[in-house]
Amino acid sequence: MPTPNLFDRTTDFLGVFNDLSAEDSAVWERARSFRGDCLPVINDAWEKAEYPMGLVRRLGELDLMTDGLDVEGHETMTPLAAGLALMEVTRADASMGTVIAVQAGLAMRSIAMLGSEEQKAKYLPGMAKCEILGAFGLTEPAHGSDSIALETSAVRDGDEYVLNGEKRWIGNGSVGDITVVWARMEDGNVSGFIVPQDTPGYHGETQEGKVSLRAIKQARITLTDCRVPAENRLPGAESFKDAARVLTATRTGVAWMALGSAIACYEYAREYVLERQQFGRELAKSQIIQQRLTNMLVDINQMMLTARKVTELDAAGTLRPEQASMAKLHNTRAARRIAQDARDMLGGVGILLEHHIVRHFADIEAMHTYEGTDTVQSLIIGKQITGFSAYK
Residue 353: CA count within 13 A, CB half-sphere? 16
Give the mean pLDDT of 189-218: 96
d(CA 117, CA 357): 43
% of the chain with per-residue pLDDT over 90: 86
Predicted local distance difference test score (pLDDT) of residue 1: 47
Closest CA to 255 of 86, 136, 32: 86
- Residue 101: DSSP 8-state: I
- Cβ-based neighbour number of residue 69 at 10 Å: 22
Q: Which amino acid, one-letter code, is at 1?
A: M
The torsion of the CA quartet 374, 376, 381, 387, rounded to 10 degrees, works out to 150
Query: What residues does 179 pair with on adjacent strands?
Result: 135, 195
The mean-pLDDT minimum among 8-12, 126-130, 172-176, 195-199 falls in 8-12
Q: Which residues of 332-370 are buried (b: 16+ CB within 10 A; e: fewer)?
A: bbbbbebbebbbebbeeebeeeebbbbbbbbbbebbbbb
d(CA 43, CA 28): 23
pTM: 0.94
What domains are defined for the chain?
22-129 (1.10.540.10), 134-239 (2.40.110.10), 241-386 (1.20.140.10)
Contacts of 51 (CB under 8 A, 6+ apart): 45, 175, 215, 216, 217
CB neighbour class for 118 (10 Å; exposed up to 12, middle 13-18, buried from 19): exposed
Give the mean pLDDT of 74-99: 97
- Residue 140: DSSP 8-state: B
Q: Which long-range contacts (CB under 8 A, 24 or more apart) does 386-392 make?
A: 391/146
CA dist list (Å): 200 to 34, 156, 162, 170: 37, 17, 11, 18
Q: CB–CB of 330/324 below 8 Å?
A: no
The torsion of the CA quartet 286, 292, 294, 298, rounded to 10 degrees, works out to 180
pLDDT band at 2 (very low <50, low <70, confident <90, very high): low
pLDDT in tens, 295-345: 999 999 999 999 999 999 999 999 999 999 999 999 999 999 999 999 999
Q: Is 153 helix (H, G, I), strand (E, B) or coil?
A: strand
pLDDT band at 116 (very low <50, low <70, confident <90, very high): very high
pLDDT in tens, 265-289: 999 999 999 988 788 888 889 999 9
d(CA 112, CA 133): 15
